[in-house]
Amino acid sequence: MISKYNHKNLNWIDLESGTKEEIDHILEEYSIPSNIKEKLNGNDREDRFEMNYDYIYASINNKITFIVNDNFIISIHSEPILAFTTSSKELEIDMVSIEKINSNKVLFAHLLKNLFKNREEELNYYHYQLEKLKNKILIKNKVIKKRNIIIIILIIVSIIAIWL
């Protein structure tokens, strides 16, 4: 799905779960150089960050790719990203002027900031869930230990009763 967000001189093209045809169309429409097209079509799974005079190309965890120049920013990803939803809403309600986002490269930095902030919140949530699980396991272990002690005491009392 292709979404385009335009605000003053900011142009963000977001391809979420884009088909090959949609991606090729956008790359053609925005005259993306062939070396970047090759990187997108290749099987290279490494993170990449490349800058040259005209473009910034960034591929993160092979899940999100950015192509940025003075005229636009293109993001390509296969699943919804909460940080992008937040950023697109900020563009719509003109929050970007408050944060002094006045170029596509600054918008790129803003998207990365939101992406990492979102990931940090996600990691904190998972950490909290792990702590809750750990506490449940500790409580169950205490209950199991108490049961085992009670069983051992009953066995000892039974053995003593048999001897007497």
The verdict on residue 111 lying in a domain is yes
3-state secondary structure of 116: helix
The verdict on residue 141 lying in a domain is no
The verdict on residue 19 lying in a domain is yes
* pLDDT, the chain, mean: 77
CATH classification at residue 112 = 3.30.460
Other C-beta atoms closer than 10 Å to the C-beta of 60 total 15
* pLDDT tens digits along 34-86: 778 777 776 666 777 788 778 888 887 768 888 888 888 888 887 877 676 66
The verdict on residue 102 lying in a domain is yes
Single-letter amino acid code for the residue at 39: K
* pLDDT tens digits along 98-127: 456 666 677 777 777 878 777 767 777 778
The verdict on residue 135 lying in a domain is no
To which residue do tokens 């490494």 refer?
Answer: 46
3-state secondary structure of 91: helix
Range of the structural domain that residue 105 is part of: 2-120
